[in-house]
């Protein structure tokens, strides 16, 4: 790596953190946040903002995130921007040293936030070189480690990275899902009012299956006019139907959709038989595709960022989207009764589908992240509108 702390086994003076690859390569830097080590898959994220949301997104379970934007941490952290109760990304890598916060919403510095939440950070690495490495070789298995004393057993960390099996074939949804039912309350955040209320009047009731959901998805459903009840990933068809839903939502989440589909797909197929409206995002999109006979596969490098252009096939409109996925629905071999609705303008991969014989649709990207910023909110309005028509 073209940096003052290059990839090598020899530890440079003053290094307090390292990123160890399964093939023996080591990148040295300066640690921040928690001390310790963790093994997972390395990915890169291209967003310039929202690093706290990234770190707390359950879809990043078992992953180490390299931020391509060099200045991470300068707006600090707060108690409002969590996407889940706890962080799920194992750690992060940044180019420049984390500076003190400079934002009126900040309640704590990012480095302190990382330490309090037991997450490891490394600064001083050439994140552009890491990004090129992932693009060239695919996402490697790594160990991220931080020791204030600069003490590392590199050989042991290398073995740990080499022996980790990787995300393919791994079901992580049950690890990050809620354990029980939750009645969701609260709409989108605004500068003037904070988080919105639940609204007045009769609202269609959506039951959301939590495979690793982001909170802002539920806020957008409320904003669009729905009442939301959340159930765990393991919820059965009977448990869901006992809640008297007007529609179903399949959430985002981590891991291999084929592994999660072992228990999720049979339930989704039963839900589709009710012909009530159904909407899926990210992992939910992939699980819907599997439920109707489609296929998913691991991507070479994945899509993670807040600047991904996606074309809506029906009218050619381009949405600027946020994405976070390492698996994708295969475009070839789409079963009958399924129509492709969106496509990535980066690599032509599938980004959306709908069923032609029942009210079910899904997208690969994250409309709740609002990078456009409102390019994709119509999807929530469309879903709630379908439930109103059906009820």
- Backbone CA torsion sign across 121, 125, 128, 132: negative
Distance CA 387, CA 384 (A): 5
Distance CA 84, CA 64 (A): 17
**Which CA distances in Å does 70 have to 61, 93, 97, 146, 278?**
23, 10, 9, 20, 39
Report the DSSP pairing between strands 63-67 and 194-195: unpaired
Distance CA 128, CA 245 (A): 47
Give residue 5's pLDDT band: very low, low, confident or very high (50, 70, 90). very low
Tens digits of per-residue pLDDT, 88-106? 999 999 999 998 999 999 9
pLDDT of residue 237: 98
Helix, strand, coil share of the chain (percent; to 5) = 25, 30, 45
pLDDT of residue 193: 81
Task: Quickly count helices (H) and strands (E) in the chain.
Answer: 10, 19
Residues tagged active-site: 282, 366, 368
188: left (phi over 0), alpha (psi -120 to 50) or beta: beta
pLDDT of residue 4: 39
Tens digits of per-residue pLDDT, 356-389? 999 999 999 999 998 888 899 999 999 999 999 9
Tens digits of per-residue pLDDT, 179-207? 999 999 998 888 878 888 887 779 999 99
Distance CA 213, CA 217 (A): 7
Distance CA 368, CA 143 (A): 31
Q: Mean pLDDT across the chain, nearest whole number?
A: 95
H-run or E-run covering 391: none
pLDDT of residue 93: 98
Distance CA 332, CA 297 (A): 12
pLDDT of residue 390: 80
Tens digits of per-residue pLDDT, 298-308? 999 999 999 99
pLDDT of residue 3: 42
Q: What is the mean pLDDT of residues 116-129?
A: 97
Inform me whether the pLDDT recorded for 65 exceeds 70: yes
Domains delineated in the chain: 17-163 (3.50.30.20), 173-390 (3.40.50.880)
For a pLDDT cut of 90, what percent of the chain falls above it? 89
Tens digits of per-residue pLDDT, 307-355? 999 999 999 999 999 999 999 999 888 889 999 999 999 999 999 999 9
Looking at 211-252, list the stretches that DSSP marks H as alpha helix, in order from N- to C-terminal side. Answer: 215-223, 237-241
Q: What is the mean pLDDT of residues 242-262?
A: 98
pLDDT of residue 292: 98
Tens digits of per-residue pLDDT, 9-56? 789 999 999 999 999 999 999 999 999 999 999 999 999 989 999 999
Distance CA 93, CA 43 (A): 10
């Amino acid at each position: 790596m073209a940096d003052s702390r290059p990839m090598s086994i020899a530890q440079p003076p003053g290094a307090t953190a390292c990123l160890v690859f399964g093939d023996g390569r080591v990148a040295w830097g300066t640690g921040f946040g928690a001390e310790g080590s963790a093994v997972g898959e390395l990915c890169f994220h291209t967003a310039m903002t929202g690093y706290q949301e990234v770190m707390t997104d359950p879809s990043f379970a078992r992953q180490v995130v390299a931020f391509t934007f060099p200045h991470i941490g300068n707006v600090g952290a707060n108690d409002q921007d969590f996407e889940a109760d706890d962080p799920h990304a194992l750690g992060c890598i940044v180019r420049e040293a984390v500076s003190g916060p400079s934002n009126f919403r900040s309640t704590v510095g990012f480095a302190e936030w990382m330490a309090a939440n037991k997450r490891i950070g490394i600064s001083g690495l050439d994140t552009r070189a890491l990004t090129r490495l992932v693009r060239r070789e695919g996402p490697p298995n790594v160990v991220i480690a931080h020791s204030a004393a600069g003490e590392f057993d590199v050989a042991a960390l290398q073995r740990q990275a080499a022996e980790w099996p990787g995300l393919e074939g791994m079901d992580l949804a049950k690890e990050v899902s809620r354990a029980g039912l939750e009645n969701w309350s609260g709409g989108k955040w605004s500068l003037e009012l904070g988080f919105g209320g639940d609204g007045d009047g009769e609202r269609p009731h959506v039951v959301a299956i939590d495979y690793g959901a982001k909170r802002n998805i539920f806020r957008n459903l409320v904003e669009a006019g729905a009442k939301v009840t959340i159930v765990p990933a393991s919820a059965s068809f009977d448990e869901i139907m006992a809640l008297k839903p007007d529609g179903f939502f399949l959430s985002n989440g981590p891991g291999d959709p084929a592994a999660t589909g072992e228990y999720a797909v049979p339930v989704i197929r039963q839900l589709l038989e009710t012909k009530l409206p159904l909407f899926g995002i990210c992992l939910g999109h992939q699980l819907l595709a599997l439920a109707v006979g489609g296929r998913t596969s691991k991507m070479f490098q994945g899509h993670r960022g807040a600047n991904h252009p996606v074309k809506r096939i029906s009218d050619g409109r381009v949405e600027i989207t946020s994405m976070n996925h390492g698996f994708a629905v295969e475009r070839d071999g789409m079963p009958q009764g399924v129509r492709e609705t969106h496509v990535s303008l980066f690599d032509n991969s599938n980004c959306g589908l709908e069923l032609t014989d029942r009210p079910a649709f899904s997208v690969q990207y994250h409309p709740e992240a609002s990078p456009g910023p409102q390019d994709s909110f119509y999807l929530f309005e469309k879903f709630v509108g379908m439930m109103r028509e059906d009820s």
